[in-house]
Every structure is written in structure tokens, then in C-alpha cells.
Amino acid sequence: MKKTSTRLADGRELVYYDSRDDLARDAADRRPLDAVSTASEIRRDVLLGDSVAVASHRQARTYHPPADECPLCPSRDGRLSEIPDTDYDVVVFENRFPSLAGEHGRCEVVCFTSDHDASFADLSEEQAGLVLEAWTDRTAELAAVPGVEQVFCFENRGAEIGVTLQHPHGQIYGYPFTTPRTALMLRSAAAHREAGGGNLFDEVVERERAEGSRVVMEGEHWIAFVPYAAHWPYEVHLYPKRRVPDLRALDGAARTEFPQMYLELLRRFDRIFGTGEPPTPYIAAWHQAPFTAPERDEFALHLELFTIRRTSGKLKFLAGSESGMSVFINDVPPEAAAGRLREVAS
């Protein structure tokens, strides 16, 4: 992998990740951009104990542009975009409309390919492996940014999820705190250990392997399963078999196998509802340990993949119980979801 860092016209950082070492990335951003001005702040909810990012400047962000005005495509044919070069493999840049900025963290955009009409599932194993290297490198880089406590790499796909740019891309958030979901997992793991148990993440994985009914795929270094108490109709968790706290700690064998496993999972998600359906909307989320948490080594890196579609032509909306009380009601038994995802294997 070759990494080339440059700056956009307004001072934001942009990084190219290339599979070839002989590529020169020296194209300049020729747009007349003003310096980015953000109004992001973090407000603490004293009743719930969590935090809310207030970012009013995001109201002006780009919203469903036509394909020929996509800001994530390369700069070609006289049209200038966020990426100055005429082509790229993988590129990461600071978000122009960040939810978190300055002392309140950092937000980056990850473009998986220069092909506007592709999806992550269309990537080759080599391309997917390069994205994994970019996620890993950004985790390492953001770990050194003062005030960043946790890095979250994720992809939203589909208008139903709320995606406003159709180009295949994801995001990386550097949070200035441990996120509530991660804090809850760490508390559960600590309580389990104090009660005389072992590592809770390891035991969850071993339980799924032993029972088998919810396992979707298993390789030499990774296992994918629908969790026993899945929140979403179709939800898969992908764990490396050797527990590590974050992407930086994955060994070479796990890195090599990951693209095979992940691409197959994404392709199954696109097949579960049959032909004629629009591409399956989903969220893919990497869960990594906070950098300074005392229980950091107890945490297990894993990826959670889920869709808000519950059956053909129907979505799972977060209504009263879910949104009002955080109590999920799942319409699809996890065992049935796992069985369906096994049925649509390549």
C-alpha cells in the first residue's frame, strides 16, 4: 500500500491509498474554497448520561446531487470535485460538513472506489483489503490526535438509511469520549468478569459456535453469526477468532481472510430479498476499543452489519418502543434470519 497525504484548497487533509507504489499523486485542488467554518459543540444529557453533537452547519451539506455533480467522483472533464486527481483506488479526506470538529473530535469520509455506480460488494478482494488497510491506518492516525478517545469506521448505504450521496463511501468518526454503546458493552463485560465469568465476548462467540443455529459463515480466522438477541430483522456480527481490541492488532492471516468473508456477507445481504428489489439498505459498523479505557484489553473488535428492511418491500421503523424506550421488537427470529442468509450463499 502506498499512502500519499495532501491538502485541499480550504486546508482539509486528503489521503490517497494506492495498491501500486509507482503512482504519483500531485494533482492540486483548483477550487476557490473558503476555509471551513464549523459550529460543532458537544452537549451532555445529564439524565441519560450521554452526549449529543450539535452541528448546525450541517444543514448546508450536499443533498442528493445528480450523478454528474457527485463530489466524491474524481475531478475529470473540467469538473472539479473533492478529489483533485482524475482517478483513485481509496481516498480519505476530512468531511467538509463534520458532525465533530476541532476539540470535539474529527470526521472523515472514505471513498471505497472511484466507480460511482459500484458498491462495496462489487469490489475485488484486493480492493476490499485496501479499504481495510485504510481503516486501520486512520485508526492509528486518529489515535494520535489529542482528545480523540475512540474511532468508529462505518458505512451507511441506501436512501432509506438517510444517505445523501450515492457514491460508494463510508465515514470515520474520532469521538472525544467513549460512546454509550461501547461503555455499556464494557460495563457488561466487567460485571460478568466480577461475577466469576471469563471474557464475555469470547463466551458469546463460543456459545454461537457451539449452538450453530445462528452461524452464517465460518472461516479459519473469522466467524459471522446472527446474535441471540438481534435487534434488527437481519443483523450479522463478524468477529475475528483471535480477540483483539481494534483494527491495528489484526494479524496478517486475519487481514487476508477478511475480504473473502465480508464481501460474501454483503453479497448475501443483496440476495436475501430476491431479484427485483432495490439494493439492500444497510449499516456496517466497526466496534473498536477506546484508547484509554482500563478494560481496553477485555474488548473484542467486531463488525456489526444490519439492514432496516424486514421483508420484501417493507422496512423496520424505530417507532414508539424503540425510539421512546430503547426496547427493540424484532419481527424475524434470529435463527430464521441466519437460515435465510445461509440459503443465499454463493
Alpha-carbon torsion angle 61, 170, 341, 185, nearest 10: -100
Q: Is 221 annotated as a binding residue?
A: no
φ, ψ for residue 109 (rounded to 5)?
A: -105, 135
Q: Are 122 and 82 in contact (CB under 8 A)?
A: no
Write down how long the chain is.
Answer: 346
253's grid cell: 492471516
Q: Is 287 annotated as a binding residue?
A: no
Beta strands in the chain (DSSP E): 2-7, 13-18, 40-45, 50-55, 90-94, 106-111, 150-157, 169-175, 215-218, 222-225, 234-240, 282-287, 302-307, 309-311, 314-315
Alpha-helical segments (H) within 217-333: 252-271, 325
Q: Is 153 annotated as a binding residue?
A: no
Query: Measured in whole angstroms, how far is the alpha carbon of residue 53 from the centre of its chain?
Result: 19
User: CB within 8 A of 218, min separation 6: which ones?
Assistant: 209, 224
Q: Is 104 annotated as a binding residue?
A: no
User: CB within 8 A of 283, min separation 6: which ones?
Assistant: 154, 155, 156, 157, 161, 304, 305, 306, 307
Q: Can 57 be counted among the known catalytic residues?
A: no
* Catalytic, out of 57, 64, 169, 237: 169
Mind giving me the DSSP string for 123-137? S-HHHHHHHHHHHHH
Residue 102: closest CA among 57, 169, 68: 57
Q: Which of left, alpha, beta for 276 (phi over 0: left; psi -120 to 50: alpha)?
A: left
Q: Which residues are annotated as a binding site for Zn(2+)?
A: 70, 73, 116, 167
Q: Which residues are annotated as a binding site?
A: 70, 73, 116, 167
Catalytic residues: 169
